[in-house]
């Protein structure tokens, strides 16, 4: 009986670890050569250089920068030649507020695809929430996050994902 209980506990812990790794540590990422817009979400990590690099590579004609809670926090970055720059403060200052704003922009400008610049931990949840407000293709490119921040981020992202799946189901 104890062996079965121990085996079941180990199996559950292993499954939890695999799911955590797939959702938050190594999510699927990448993007095609071009999309309608680059969307930098707010939060920790070194996101701005990644978003600006994609803009300089002309991967999209529009760069959208969120200055939401724990976001970039500074003034709008300098525009990249040939790329329209839109900075905004989401309301609410969350991924949901960012998705609502991007959904409105997408409808106004007839976007068919976006690439989200986020951290690996936020990637899965951001795609789910963005998909509720935007019907086009959603890709993700991730920015670095200090490894000492990972334990907090994994706990936070599990809680935030549960909230996104249960509490906020519409745009």
Residue 147 belongs to a domain: yes
* Mean pLDDT confidence for 8-37: 77
> Are 15 and 93 in contact, with CB atoms under 8 Å apart?
no
Q: Which domain holds residue 149?
A: 27-166
Tell me if 3 is assigned to some domain: no
Residue 83 placed within a domain? yes
Cβ proximity of 134 and 102 under 8 Å:
yes
Query: Is residue 101 included in any domain, yes or no?
Result: yes
Cβ atoms 119, 27 nearer than 8 A: no
Burial class (CB in 10 A: 0-12, 13-18, 19+), 130: buried
Determine contact, residues 169/132, Cβ cutoff 8 Å.
yes
Give me the residues paired with residue 63 across strands: 38, 85
Entry pTM: 0.86
The residue-averaged pLDDT of 49-58 equals 96
Into how many domains does the chain fold? Answer: 1
pLDDT tens per residue, range 108-156: 999 999 999 998 888 999 999 999 999 999 999 998 877 787 888 888 8
- Three-state secondary structure string covering 121-140: HHHHHHHHHHHHHCCCEEEE
CATH number at residue 100: 3.40.50
Is there a domain that residue 17 lies in?
no
The first and second tokens of residue 31, run together, are 């993007």
The rounded distance, in Å, linking the Cα atoms of 121 and 40 is 14
d(CA 78, CA 84): 11
pLDDT tens, residue by residue, 65-115: 998 766 556 678 888 889 999 999 998 888 999 999 999 999 999 999 999
């Amino acid at each position: 009986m104890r062996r079965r209980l121990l085996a079941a506990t180990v199996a559950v812990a292993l499954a939890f670890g695999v799911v955590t790794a797939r959702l938050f540590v190594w999510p699927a990422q990448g993007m095609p050569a071009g999309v309608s817009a680059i969307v930098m979400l707010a939060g920790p990590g070194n996101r701005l250089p990644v978003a600006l690099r994609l803009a300089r590579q002309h991967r999209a004609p529009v760069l959208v920068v969120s200055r939401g809670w724990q976001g970039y926090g500074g003034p709008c970055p300098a525009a990249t030649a040939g790329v329209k720059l839109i900075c905004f403060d989401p309301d609410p200052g969350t991924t949901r507020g960012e998705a609502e704003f991007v959904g409105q922009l997408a409808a106004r400008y007839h976007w068919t695809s976006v690439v989200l610049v986020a951290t690996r931990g936020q990637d899965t949840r951001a795609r789910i929430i963005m998909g509720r407000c935007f019907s086009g293709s959603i890709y993700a490119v991730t920015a670095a996050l200090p490894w000492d921040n990972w334990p907090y981020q994994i706990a936070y992202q599990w809680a935030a994902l549960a909230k996104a799946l249960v509490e906020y189901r519409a745009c």
